C-alpha cells in the first residue's frame, strides 16, 4: 500500500512584549522562579485582567504579513482545564472569534518548487506556568514566571504532504515572526514551540485519516525526528491490522520516540465561554493602517529584490535574506561599492564561517561592513590577491585595523612588476633543471610546482595571473 502523509501544525509563538498579556509583570526569561508572577498571573480572587495593546498590535502585524482576514471584533474565551501550572483553572484564549482569520504563506521546497500553505487562524492567548521536575530531590515545583506571557497560536490547514514540507513551513513561520520583530524566535527558551498533527491515508483517497498530535517539540531537528517516528509508527500499526487512535502524544527526544499522553480532548471538554472580565477587542481601520505602514520588507520580497537589484543567484539571495541583520550587513557591504556577487561570497563563506567558528551572530561581527567593503576594494583593484585577502581578513578580524593599514604594515601589496617576477622565475628555473626537463617533456602538471615556488619566494604576493603567463612563456621548449 502507498501511503500519503498529511500534516498540520500549531505553532505557539511567545510575543516579544515587555509585560504580560493581562498584567504588568515582566516577561523577561530566566529570572528566579516565581519572581515575575503577580496576583493576576496567579489568579487571585478579585483581580482583573487588562489587555496589553502591544500584544494585539503584534498579532495584527502577523495577520497583515500573511494576507489574513483580520478579526475586526475578537473575543477572549476561557478554556477550562485543571493542571498544576494553571492556577486559575482556565486559560484565557480565543475560540469562536480569533483576532486573525484565514491567510496563507508560501514555502520553497528543495527543488525550487513553491507551495502555498493555508493558515486557518491565529489567536491570542496566555502561556501557562512551568512544572520543574529537576533539582527538587524527587519533588516537583511550579514556576509561574511564564504564566501570562502572550502567545500567538498560529494554526495551519492540514496542507502539508511530507515531513520536509512541514519543516519548511515551521522554518518559514519562524523566519517571518522574527523578521516582524514580534517574537525573539529562541527555541531553546521556548519562545517558539510546535505541536504537530499527523495522519496517513492510502494514496488517492480523499478523506483524511485519524490524526495524532505530537507535543513538546522545541527544535526543527526534533520536529523532523518526531514526525518521522510517528509516520513510521502509524504505517506499521495500520499495516499490521491496527487502527490509529486520536490522541496526544509526547515526543521524547532522549529516546527518539513518541508516547501516548492522553486521549485527545474535544473542544467541548474545555467548556469554552467568553471571558466576562474582558471586553471584545474592536480593531479600528486607523490602527490597522498604522501597523500596515510599519511593516518591514518581508523575507520573500527582500529575496526577490536581492535577485533583481544585485543580480544574485536564488541560493545567495535566499541565504542572505535568512535574517534581517544578515541582509542589512550585506547591503551595507554592497553600499561601499563592492561587486555584489563578490560581497555575497565573502559574507556567506569567509565571514559566516568565522562567525560560526567563534559562535557569534552577525550583529557581533568584529569585521564591520565598511571594513569588509574596504578589503574587497583592494581585491577588485588588484592591490592584493584573493588568497592574501584571507590573511588580511583575519587581521581585520583580530582588530589590527582596516585593510589598507594592514596591507601597508605587513607589506602585502601584490607584486605586479613584470621584471621582478621574471627575475624570480629565472632563478627558480635555474635551480630546478630536472623539473624543467620533465615539464618540457610533457609533464604539464608540474606548472603547479613552479607556481608554488614563486609564491613561496614572494610569500604569496606575486600576481597569480602574471606568474602563470610568464612561467608558461619561460618554460616553453
Ligand atoms: P484541535 O484544536 O483539537 O487541536 P484543530 O481542528 O484546531 O484541532 O486542528 C489542529 C491541527 O490539526 C490543525 O493544524 C490542522 O491542520 C491539523 N489537522 C486536522 N486534521 C488533520 C488530519 N487528519 N491530519 C493531519 N493534521 C490534521
Ligand atoms: Mg489545538
CA of 120 from ligand 1 middle (Å) equals 10
Residue 363 CB-density burial (10 A; 0-12 exposed, 13-18 middle, 19+ buried):
exposed
Q: For residue range 136-165, what is the model confidence (pLDDT) as tens digits?
A: 677 888 999 999 999 999 999 999 999 999
Q: Ligand 1 atom 11: the closest Cα is on which residue?
A: 8
Q: What pLDDT score does 136 carry?
A: 61
Mean pLDDT score, 376-396: 94
Query: Quick one: which atom of ligand 1 is closest to the CA of 155?
Result: 14
CA of 197 from ligand 1 middle (Å) equals 6
CA of 475 from ligand 1 middle (Å) equals 73
Mean pLDDT score, 200-206: 97
CA of 226 from ligand 1 middle (Å) equals 17
CA of 10 from ligand 2 middle (Å) equals 6
Q: What is the DSSP track for 36-73? A: S--HHHHT-TT------HHHHHHHHHHHHHTTPPB-SE
Ligand with smallest separation from the Cα of 159: 1
Q: Ligand 1 atom 24: the closest Cα is on which residue?
A: 199
Ligand with smallest separation from the Cα of 9: 1
Q: What pLDDT score does 411 carry?
A: 87
CA of 196 from ligand 1 middle (Å) equals 9
336/334 Cα distance (integer angstroms) = 5
Q: For residue range 30-89, what is the model confidence (pLDDT) as tens digits?
A: 999 999 999 999 999 999 999 999 999 999 999 999 999 999 999 999 999 999 999 999
β-partners of residue 252 are 257
Confirm or reject: Cβ of 199 under 6 Å from ligand 1.
Answer: yes
Ligand with smallest separation from the Cα of 118: 1
Confirm or reject: Cβ of 36 under 6 Å from ligand 1.
Answer: no
Mean pLDDT score, 204-214: 96
Q: Is the pLDDT of residue 207 over 80?
A: yes
Q: For residue range 92-101, what is the model confidence (pLDDT) as tens digits?
A: 999 999 999 9
Beta strands at 212-217 and 247-252: parallel, antiparallel or unpaired = parallel
Confirm or reject: Cβ of 91 under 6 Å from ligand 1.
Answer: no
- What is the pTM (predicted TM-score) of this model? 0.88
Confirm or reject: Cβ of 98 under 6 Å from ligand 1.
Answer: no
365, 351 contact by CB (below 8 A): yes
Using most ligand atoms within 8 A of CB, pick from 95, 122, 158 the residue to mutate for ligand 1: 158
β-partners of residue 281 are 74
Candidates 325, 329, 361; CA nearest to 346 is 329
Q: Is the pLDDT of residue 14 over 70?
A: yes
β-partners of residue 93 are 77
Domains in the chain: ranges and CATH: 3-287 (no CATH), 297-410 (no CATH), 418-475 (1.10.10.410)
Amino acid at each position: 500500500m502507498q501511503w500519503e502523509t498529511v500534516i498540520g501544525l500549531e505553532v505557539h509563538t511567545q510575543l516579544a512584549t515587555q509585560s504580560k498579556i493581562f498584567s504588568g509583570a515582566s516577561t523577561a526569561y530566566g529570572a528566579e522562579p516565581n519572581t515575575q508572577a503577580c496576583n493576576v498571573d496567579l489568579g487571585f480572587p478579585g483581580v482583573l485582567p487588562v489587555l496589553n495593546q502591544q500584544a494585539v498590535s503584534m498579532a495584527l502585524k502577523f495577520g497583515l504579513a500573511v494576507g489574513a482576514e483580520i478579526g475586526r471584533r475578537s473575543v477572549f474565551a476561557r478554556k477550562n482545564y485543571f493542571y498544576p501550572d494553571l492556577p486559575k483553572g482556565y486559560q484565557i484564549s480565543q475560540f469562536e472569534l480569533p483576532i486573525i482569520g484565514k491567510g496563507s504563506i508560501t514555502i520553497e521546497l528543495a527543488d525550487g518548487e513553491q507551495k502555498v500553505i493555508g493558515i486557518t487562524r491565529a489567536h491570542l492567548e496566555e502561556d501557562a506556568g512551568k512544572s520543574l521536575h529537576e533539582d527538587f530531590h524527587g519533588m516537583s515545583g511550579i514556576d509561574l514566571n511564564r504564566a501570562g506571557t502572550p502567545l500567538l497560536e498560529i494554526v495551519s490547514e492540514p496542507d502539508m504532504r511530507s515531513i520536509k514540507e512541514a519543516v519548511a513551513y515551521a522554518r518559514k513561520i519562524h523566519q517571518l515572526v522574527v523578521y516582524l520583530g514580534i517574537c525573539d524566535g529562541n527555541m531553546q527558551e521556548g519562545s517558539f514551540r510546535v505541536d504537530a498533527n499527523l495522519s496517513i491515508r492510502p494514496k488517492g483517497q480523499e478523506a483524511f485519516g485519524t490524526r495524532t498530535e505530537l507535543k513538546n517539540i522545541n527544535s526543527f531537528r526534533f520536529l523532523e525526528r518526531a514526525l518521522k517516528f510517528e509516520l513510521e509508527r502509524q504505517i506499521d500499526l495500520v499495516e499490521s491490522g491496527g487502527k490509529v487512535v486520536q490522541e496526544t502524544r509526547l515526543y521524547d527526544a532522549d529516546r527518539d520516540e513518541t508516547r501516548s499522553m492522553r486521549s485527545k480532548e474535544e473542544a467541548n471538554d474545555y467548556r469554552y465561554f467568553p471571558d466576562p472580565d474582558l471586553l471584545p477587542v474592536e480593531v479600528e481601520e486607523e490602527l490597522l493602517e498604522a501597523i500596515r505602514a510599519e511593516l518591514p520588507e518581508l523575507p520573500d520580497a527582500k529575496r526577490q529584490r536581492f535577485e533583481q537589484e544585485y543580480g544574485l543567484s536564488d541560493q545567495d539571495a535566499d541565504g542572505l535574506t535568512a535574517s534581517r541583520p544578515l541582509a542589512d550587513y550585506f547591503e551595507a557591504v554592497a553600499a561601499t561599492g563592492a561587486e555584489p556577487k563578490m560581497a555575497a561570497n565573502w559574507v556567506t563563506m569567509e565571514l559566516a564561517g568565522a562567525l560560526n567558528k567563534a559562535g557569534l551572530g552577525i550583529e557581533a561581527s568584529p569585521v564591520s561592513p565598511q571594513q569588509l567593503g574596504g578589503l574587497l576594494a583592494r581585491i577588485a583593484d588588484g592591490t592584493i590577491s584573493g588568497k592574501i585577502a584571507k590573511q588580511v581578513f583575519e587581521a581585520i578580524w583580530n582588530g589590527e585595523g582596516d585593510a589598507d593599514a594592514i596591507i601597508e604594515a605587513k607589506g602585502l601589496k601584490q607584486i605586479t612588476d613584470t621584471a621582478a617576477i621574471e627575475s624570480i622565475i629565472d632563478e627558480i628555473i635555474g635551480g630546478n633543471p630536472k623539473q624543467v626537463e620533465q615539464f618540457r617533456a610533457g609533464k604539464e602538471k608540474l606548472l603547479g610546482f613552479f607556481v608554488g615556488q614563486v609564491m613561496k619566494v614572494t610569500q604569496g604576493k606575486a600576481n597569480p595571473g602574471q606568474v602563470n603567463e610568464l612561467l608558461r612563456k619561460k618554460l616553453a621548449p
